[in-house]
Amino acid sequence: TPIEQQEIRLSQFNQILKNDQNRAAILELPIDPIKAKQNMFAQAIHQRPIMFGHISREPLGAYEYIDENPLLRVLRQSNEMPPWLTNVGEQLATLAMDDVEFIVMHKDQIGADRIEHWKRYLPFEPVFEDNTIAAFSTSPEVEEDFSLLADLAPGIGPVRVITSGDCVEVGDVFEVDVAWATTWPVEQNYRVVFTLEDEQARIEDNQMLLTEELSSSGWGKNSLVWAYYVTKLNPDVPAGEYQLEMTLQGNRGENGSTTFPIGKLVVSKSDCDHELPPEVIPVGAVFGEQLRLVGYQLLRPDPKFLEVTLYWRAEQRMPLDYKVFVHVFEEETDVPVAQDDSIPHRGGFPTNFWAPGEEITDHVPIYLGNAPAGRYGVAIGVYDPVTGERLHVLERDGNEPQDQRLVLPGEKIEVSE
């Protein structure tokens, strides 16, 4: 009887590794014992050690090295997503010192959105990329593999700057993520200053967004460190279009040599425009100043099922894996007759991996087969699954529900006998 075989697509990178005399190891992502079988097949070509394989019975201490390495330990848990450890240069250098030369991401095993998160976290170009893999060096060199966008002070500057958007509403939080790098050792700490400059090139006191310490003293050459800055826009800032700028100040108050223009920022007194499909109902409610429910859609693919599609936007980086609850409830008693509690994407995309400004669509199925006949409302909430504490809800009109849940406007859910 013929045996069905699985086609395995292998990258040309494996042949390049085979022809290279270096015998250093490879860290392949995702870390998955089942998917590792494909990596072990590729190993027959490139002949390099790999960090993870597949064995039926793991001996004691098999993961000892991995659990002692902060980056590998987190990767073993988060698997497909970058760890967001801020000292990325130090983590890569540790791998390089232990003779791990490349991090290889397999595109057929990791979603495109996950690959983009990795490319954002590693602020330098891959050494090789095709339609099957993206390979990154564990020993990138400043001025060779990546360059400073500007020298904000002697030997230090940003290599990547990511904002939570180009529009912010007065009183809302705003985040700027900066990957700092050094071209030579830094001997002092600096303060990072973010300002808004208007079209008359003025900076008023209320346009000084944030001043925060950058503990850069002792950074050696080739350091690569992420820093995440969160601020709340001063309500006195007039609506309009501004230039968002960043500077460094030394310990004695002296400014760095350069002001870095991050980009345009629109300050709005009303809702910033979010492009949504015409069938989506806009909402604009903010949960805990961390994530915004931009809109939603309710579908009935079957009389016994309700599909709730939630359109989220991350307002800032989130420290926790929040759960989202969807309640279908009796309006007279507030008692849920059906509900779902889950991490977004059915556990596949935890909130602490969302990047500031990232927009996420989440489909939540609700089974209505046990609900009595009647008309019901739908409510949304976000909570910490460890403590059960719900995030504070601020609706678009300024209303703050006491039970920390948002009752969706619009049509009611009809359940018949």
Q: Which segments of the chain belong to CATH 2.70.50.60? A: 281-415
CA atoms within 13 A on the CB side of 415: 21
Ranges of the chain whose pLDDT falls below 70: 1-8, 54, 78-80, 199-211, 252-257, 271, 273-274
8 A C-beta contact, residue 103 and residue 27? yes
- Round to whole Å and give the CA distance between 77 and 96: 21
The per-residue pLDDT for 23 is 82
- Residue ranges of alpha helices (H) inside 130-244 are none
Contacts of 130 (CB under 8 A, 6+ apart): 11, 12, 13
Torsion of CA 127, 129, 135, 137, to 10 degrees: 10
The per-residue pLDDT for 206 is 47
CATH code for the domain defined by 156-268:
2.60.40.10
Q: What is the helix (H) or strand (E) element at residue 146, kind and residue range?
A: none
Q: Which segments of the chain belong to CATH 2.60.40.10? A: 156-268
Q: Is 301 helix (H, G, I), strand (E, B) or coil?
A: strand
Burial class (CB in 10 A: 0-12, 13-18, 19+), 280: middle
Structure tokens at 211: 């001043």
Contacts of 386 (CB under 8 A, 6+ apart): 320
The per-residue pLDDT for 356 is 87
Q: Give 43-76 pLDDT, tens digit per residue.
A: 888 888 888 776 777 778 777 888 888 888 888 7
The per-residue pLDDT for 61 is 79
Q: What is the pTM of this model?
A: 0.80
Integer-rounded Cα Rg, in Å, for the chain is 25
The per-residue pLDDT for 275 is 74
The CATH class given to the 281-415 domain equals mainly beta
> Quick one: three-class SS letters along 232-251?
ECCCCCCCEEEEEEEEEECC
8 A C-beta contact, residue 14 and residue 45? yes
